[in-house]
Chain A
Amino acid sequence: MLVRGIVARLDAAARLILHDPELARDAVQEAFVKAWRDLPGLRDPDRFDAWIHRITVRSCLEILRRRRRRVIEVELTPTADVPVGDIGTFVVDRDQVERALRRLDPDWRALVVVHYFLGVPLPEAALALGIPLGTAKSRLHRSLAAMRLELQLDSSSEANGLPRGQTA
């Protein structure tokens, strides 16, 4: 039961990061096989959750990298500074959040998922993604700002009856 619960949570995280159930399945399978194979190397059993999170997230990102080599890469997210302005109050539904999440760069999206969905503290999330803590803080801040902006634009578009562009 414990394993099934972990798989369910990691499968959900992988689907959030990859936006593809089949790829998520591949990522989780790769991660579990690797985790099982390397389990004797785990020094501190208390670190199992953090360890399996890290392996799964890296597996997701590796799958994305492999796909990028095969598929035309599409820039989904502005990499320049995102305005973090006075957004004000707006209303969205889960589809809007999902679209905003999807528009993030995969590395940024992974950070949001690891921190906000898996509940991994930011220092450990940075470790999982192999980036410095300062970079993780900056990326998270900009990711949230970008999502807020998307939500705002999405709401504005819907209010004006204008469809928003479909992302890859």
Chain B
Amino acid sequence: MSAFDRSGRFQVELPEILTDIASPRVPDYVDDLLAQTAATRQRPRWTFLERWLPMGVIARRSLFFPTVPWRTLVTVAVLIALLAVALFAAGSHTRVPPPFGPARNGALVFGGGDIYLRDGLTGSTKLVVGGPTDDFAAGFTRDGTRLTFLRRTQGLAGSFNELLQMMAAKPDGSGAIAISEPLVAPDWSDLAPDDSFVVVATGDPSVGQVLEIVDLRTTGPMRQIDVGDPQMKFLVPNFLGPNGTEIVFRGNTKTSVGRRSGLFAVHPDGSGLRTLTPTDGFDGDYLFPQPSPDGHFIAYTTWDGEAKLNRMHILDLRAGTDRVVSDPARSQGFASFSPDSQRILFLTYGTDRTQVTVAPVDGSRPIAMGPNYPNVENESVTGVFSPDGKSVLVNDSGSKETRLVDAATGGNGELLPWSAGNVSGWQRLAP
């Protein structure tokens, strides 16, 4: 028997009484439960958009996100992956933009399932990749002469047995060819400066992803990069400007105190592995490393366990400094650089809303780009600089809208009614 009175003993004693009622005990089905769990494949890490881009994603040239939501978000261009086998022939006599830095704005690609190309912001729209295949995450090569995209060749979108293939085509969608073997969970890819090959992080995330080189000039097998550390697991590889002789990536490897993460750089042939940061990070640290086009900075995001917020860091490779540049009161992160390397575009977010934001590299004077969108489960808010750096495209897959915003002044910008919130790539043309 328990006595309760209005003084609050009811609440005080309720936990004990509930424990008495429930009588917690290890249930007899626990072994079955553990067996059932062990027989269940874990969802690939790359399907958790929020893992890398918590409340959304900064769309960039080389990011793939193969499931339906990602697709809408297109992230992209990362995607871009690719290639071109035939492409050099076609593009060799064309004036092309430099591999890094500002360029002139060209066509835009968007869509998922089918891929559409828009001839600039004011031109016409046409279907460039259609039919029964599931194609998405379209983008362009660095020189703008080839269209690249991902094609699902096996499994359901986002399922553990899904396989994806990198494809390349002419900008009008014709001549599409597979440039890679079917890939397991491609997490991120980036094109070499001369567009001759792409580096992609791929493989079962529960085992650990590897870096593969996909040659765009031949149809031979992929080549795995051996950095001399068999314990290394790789994520988010990007070529380091301005000459692209090194690949920057987030690595997780064995240390004297257990597995830890950090940022690394290595040559494409696997030689010269070096650390760019301490190798002391946990699961939520050193996320989404993005080099500036001029190669001077790397932006990354880490988890502040005390404040329970994401923090945005700028690593200055020349000065050897690492600064937190985010608002101390809010989660900010997942930054990418403007083509001129002078500004960063990042997400400012909480549990309920996500805002695309642009600021100088030191994080000062942030400017909001587009509306402060409400968070929608499995949907994302993304932003990407135009090739000339004067505008920002803001995608919100939740409301299915894309806005073009002045990168200098911000605001809600102009709604692009043809896009439906999933512009994934913007062609770079010679200035």
Could you tell me which A residues sit within 8 Å of B by CB distance? 3-5, 7-9, 11-13, 15-16, 25, 28-29, 32-33, 36-46, 86-94, 97-98, 101, 112-113, 116-117, 119, 127, 144, 147-148, 151
- Please measure, in the bound complex, the distance between the C-alpha atom of A41 and the C-alpha atom of B42, giving whole angstroms: 10
Contact assessment for A43 and B18 in the assembled complex, using a CB-CB cutoff below 8 Å: no
Contact assessment for B34 and A3 in the assembled complex, using a CB-CB cutoff below 8 Å: yes
Selected from A39, A45, A94, the residue in CB contact (under 8 A) with B21 is A94
Contact assessment for A7 and B27 in the assembled complex, using a CB-CB cutoff below 8 Å: yes
A-B contact pairs, 5 of them (CB 8 A): A7-B26, A37-B40, A44-B303, A92-B4, A117-B15
Contact (A38, B22) CB under 8 Å given A43-B51, A45-B283: no
Residues of B within 8 A of A117 (CB): 15, 18-19, 22
B291 within 8 A of A: no
Chain B 23-37 interface residues, beta-carbon cutoff 8 Å to A: 23-27, 29-30, 32-34, 36-37
- Please measure, in the bound complex, the distance between the C-alpha atom of A28 and the C-alpha atom of B26, giving whole angstroms: 12
Selected from A5, A7, A15, A151, the residue in CB contact (under 8 A) with B33 is A7
Contact assessment for A16 and B21 in the assembled complex, using a CB-CB cutoff below 8 Å: yes
- Please measure, in the bound complex, the distance between the C-alpha atom of A117 and the C-alpha atom of B26, giving whole angstroms: 16
Residues of B within 8 A of A151 (CB): 4
Residues of B within 8 A of A87 (CB): 5-6
Closest to A5 in B: B26
Closest to B5 in A: A89
Q: Is the interface of A mostly helix, strand, loop or mixed?
A: helix
Residues of A within 8 A of B23 (CB): 12
Closest to B28 in A: A25
Contact assessment for B5 and A40 in the assembled complex, using a CB-CB cutoff below 8 Å: no
- Please measure, in the bound complex, the distance between the C-alpha atom of A116 and the C-alpha atom of B305, giving whole angstroms: 26
Residues of B within 8 A of A38 (CB): 42-43, 48
Contact assessment for A46 and B305 in the assembled complex, using a CB-CB cutoff below 8 Å: yes
Contact assessment for A116 and B15 in the assembled complex, using a CB-CB cutoff below 8 Å: yes
Residues of B within 8 A of A127 (CB): 351
Contact assessment for B40 and A33 in the assembled complex, using a CB-CB cutoff below 8 Å: yes
Beyond A29-B33, A32-B36, A87-B5, 13 extra complex contacts between A and B, CB < 8 Å:
A3-B30, A3-B34, A11-B24, A11-B25, A13-B22, A16-B22, A38-B42, A90-B3, A94-B17, A94-B21, A97-B21, A116-B18, A144-B11
Chain B nearest Cβ from A91, distance in angstroms = 5
- Please measure, in the bound complex, the distance between the C-alpha atom of A28 and the C-alpha atom of B28, giving whole angstroms: 12
Chain B nearest Cβ from A30, distance in angstroms = 10
Contact (A92, B205) CB under 8 Å given A8-B25, A8-B27, A148-B10: no
B134 within 8 A of A: no
Residues of B within 8 A of A97 (CB): 2, 14, 17-18, 21
Residues of A within 8 A of B229 (CB): none
Closest to B310 in A: A43
B92 within 8 A of A: no
Contact assessment for A25 and B206 in the assembled complex, using a CB-CB cutoff below 8 Å: no
Contact assessment for A40 and B51 in the assembled complex, using a CB-CB cutoff below 8 Å: yes
Closest to A35 in B: B37
Chain B nearest Cβ from A132, distance in angstroms = 10
Closest to B45 in A: A40
Contact assessment for B4 and A40 in the assembled complex, using a CB-CB cutoff below 8 Å: no
Closest to B54 in A: A43
B282 within 8 A of A: yes
Residues of A within 8 A of B10 (CB): 144, 147-148
Contact assessment for A32 and B18 in the assembled complex, using a CB-CB cutoff below 8 Å: no
Residues of B within 8 A of A12 (CB): 19, 22-25
Contact assessment for A8 and B26 in the assembled complex, using a CB-CB cutoff below 8 Å: yes
Contact assessment for A45 and B282 in the assembled complex, using a CB-CB cutoff below 8 Å: yes
- Please measure, in the bound complex, the distance between the C-alpha atom of A42 and the C-alpha atom of B41, giving whole angstroms: 16
Contact assessment for B283 and A4 in the assembled complex, using a CB-CB cutoff below 8 Å: no
Contact assessment for A44 and B283 in the assembled complex, using a CB-CB cutoff below 8 Å: yes
Per-residue CB proximity of B63-74 to A under 8 Å, as 1/0? 000000000000
Closest to B19 in A: A117
Per-residue CB proximity of B172-206 to A under 8 Å, as 1/0? 00000000000000000000000000000000011
B1 within 8 A of A: yes
B50 within 8 A of A: yes
- Please measure, in the bound complex, the distance between the C-alpha atom of A45 and the C-alpha atom of B45, giving whole angstroms: 15
Chain B nearest Cβ from A118, distance in angstroms = 9
Contact assessment for A94 and B37 in the assembled complex, using a CB-CB cutoff below 8 Å: no
Residues of A within 8 A of B29 (CB): 25, 29
B44 within 8 A of A: yes
B284 within 8 A of A: yes
- Please measure, in the bound complex, the distance between the C-alpha atom of A112 and the C-alpha atom of B36, giving whole angstroms: 30
Contact (A41, B48) CB under 8 Å given A86-B6, A88-B5: yes
- Please measure, in the bound complex, the distance between the C-alpha atom of A117 and the C-alpha atom of B13, giving whole angstroms: 11
Closest to B20 in A: A94
Chain A nearest Cβ from B88, distance in angstroms = 38
Choose among B1, B5, B18 the residue with the greatest number of A CB atoms under 10 Å from its CB.
Answer: B18
- Please measure, in the bound complex, the distance between the C-alpha atom of A9 and the C-alpha atom of B26, giving whole angstroms: 8
Contact (A33, B37) CB under 8 Å given A38-B43, A40-B51, A43-B51: yes
Selected from A40, A93, A113, the residue in CB contact (under 8 A) with B206 is A40
Contact (A43, B283) CB under 8 Å given A15-B22, A37-B42: yes
- Please measure, in the bound complex, the distance between the C-alpha atom of A12 and the C-alpha atom of B20, giving whole angstroms: 10
Chain B nearest Cβ from A88, distance in angstroms = 7
- Please measure, in the bound complex, the distance between the C-alpha atom of A16 and the C-alpha atom of B3, giving whole angstroms: 21
Residues of B within 8 A of A119 (CB): 15
Closest to B11 in A: A144
Contact (A44, B26) CB under 8 Å given A92-B1, A116-B15: no
- Please measure, in the bound complex, the distance between the C-alpha atom of A148 and the C-alpha atom of B8, giving whole angstroms: 11
